Amino acid sequence: MTIVINMREKVDWKKIKVAARFIKESKLVAFPTETVYGLGADALNEDAVRKIFQAKGRPPDNPLIIHIANFEQIYELAREVPETAKILAQRFWPGPLTLVLPKKDEVPYVTTGGLETVAIRMPDHEIALALIQSSDRPIAAPSANISGKPSPTLAEHVVDDFYGKIECIIDGGETKIGVESTVVDLTTHPPMLLRPGGLPLEEIKKVIGKVNVHPAVKGKPIKLAKAPGMKYKHYAPEAQVIVIEGEREQVTKKIKELIKEYKKQKIRVGVMATGDFYEADAYFNIGENEEEIARNLFKALRELDKSGVNVILAEGIEERGLGLAVMNRLKKAAGYRIIKV
């Protein structure tokens, strides 16, 4: 049985307490954050964390992010907290930034996928913070999707993937950012961007200067990637996604050509792009700017997939600001099938 708690209007502490009790009882609770929905469990309880991996079908060496509600909790999890961590947290927490630090012994290897480091963030969402506070536990939470599916930005997405399989889903409406947090490894010098996300790299550089970018961020994932998450196929819908990159006009022209070609071959085609593509079997107007596009990205992938199309043509955007995170997800979804025009 899964309890779905509606909390779209305002935080209801009575209901939060119900969900917090599940966390204390080593059960799973899905909850909204400002990025995507998370599938949460007590981060320091091995049995609870194992349930996350089981429910998601997640490979055991893909580590989880631990969510905290106040800065001091970082000292329960990290063995060392360098000055850069304090500066970044001061500036960007609560917010879509995850910091990788050396882990304390108390953090089980189950949570860190066997690594000596731990990923920590403070989410910028009242419900998430209330749940962490009320359960009085740091909460490990990957995105609340079955491994390999697009991340959930609506409670409906979590219901689709986990109804009947977890204890509780808190519905807080649509998530504000729509792509996951930015992951930065602070155990290397200079720090290294492991995953682009809701906080643009440019913002981080303004505060701490040089940041290296892991090669898997823009290109094909390489084997033995630093963030183990990068070596698995991610965000992939059932349909084959193809990214079309280039000048807007050229891209639009190419998409229209491709729609015709696919139709001739009786292949059902969906489009996610800025503007309307009525000729397609299904289309999702993805938005005018990078914020809108980030917010709509995963929903578009899920909806187009549900519409039963065989191919999804996706318009590429520039890889700066939130565009870096958007393109990272899109290229992965496409298995790196990219047409440049």
Binding residue ranges for L-threonine: 35, 67, 121, 141, 181
Which of Mg ion, ligand TXA, none binds 138 (CB below 5-8 Å, type-dependent)?
none
Residues of this chain that interact with ligand TXA (CB under 6 A) are 33, 35-36, 38, 62-65, 96, 98, 100, 112, 115, 117-119, 123, 141-143, 180-181, 183, 194-195, 227-229
Determine, following the binding rule CB under 5 A, whether residue 98 of this chain makes contact with Mg ion.
no
What is the distance in angstroms between the CA of the first residue and the CA of the last residue of the chain? 50
Task: Copy the structure tokens of residue 210.
Answer: 């040089």
Tell me the C-alpha distance between 160 and 162, whole Å. 6
Helices within 169-233 (DSSP H only)? 201-208
Question: To which H or E segment does residue 273 belong?
Answer: strand 269-273
The one-character DSSP state at 78 is B
Q: How far apart are CA 151 and CA 9, in angstroms?
A: 23
Query: Whole-number minimum distance, CB 162 to ligand TXA, in Å?
Result: 14
Q: Which residues are annotated as a binding site?
A: 35, 58, 62, 67, 117, 121, 141, 143, 151, 181, 195, 235
* Cβ proximity to Mg ion, 62 vs 274, nearer residue: 62
Q: How many other C-beta atoms are found inside a 10 Å radius of the C-beta of residue 218? A: 13
User: What's phi and psi for 92, nearest 5 deg?
Assistant: -115, -10
Cβ proximity to ligand TXA: between 56 and 254 the closer is 56
- Which CB, 134 or 175, lies closer to Mg ion? 175
Report the chain's C-alpha Rg in angstroms: 20
- What does 299 interact with, of ligand TXA, Mg ion, none (CB < 5 to 8 A by kind)? none
Nearest to 121 by CA among 142, 139, 97, 90: 97
Residue 37 or 283: the one with the smaller Cβ distance to ligand TXA is: 37
- C-beta of 62: minimal distance to ligand TXA in Å? 5
C-alpha distances (whole Å) from 213 to each of 90, 99, 247, 324 are 22, 14, 25, 11
- Selection from ligand TXA, Mg ion, none that 100 binds (CB < 5 to 8 A by kind) is ligand TXA
Query: What does 227 interact with, of Mg ion, ligand TXA, none (CB < 5 to 8 A by kind)?
Result: ligand TXA
Shortest Å distance, C-beta 111 to ligand TXA: 8
Q: How far is the CB of 256 from Mg ion (least distance, A)?
A: 33
Q: Are 276 and 299 in contact (CB under 8 A)?
A: no
Nearer to ligand TXA, 235 or 262 (CB): 235
The CB-of-147 to Mg ion minimum distance in angstroms stands at 8
The interface with Mg ion within residues 119-158 (CB under 5 A) comprises 143
Q: Which residues are annotated as a binding site for ATP?
A: 58, 62, 117, 143, 151, 195, 235
CA distance linking residue 82 with residue 89, whole number of Å:
11
On the CB side of 197, how many CA atoms lie within 13 Å of its CA?
21
Taking the complex as a whole, how short is the minimal distance between the CB of residue 227 and ligand TXA, in angstroms?
Answer: 4
Alpha carbons 204 and 93: distance in angstroms, whole number = 12
Complex with ligand TXA: residue 115 or 132, whichever CB lies closer: 115
Name the site residues for Mg ion (rule: CB under 5 A). 143
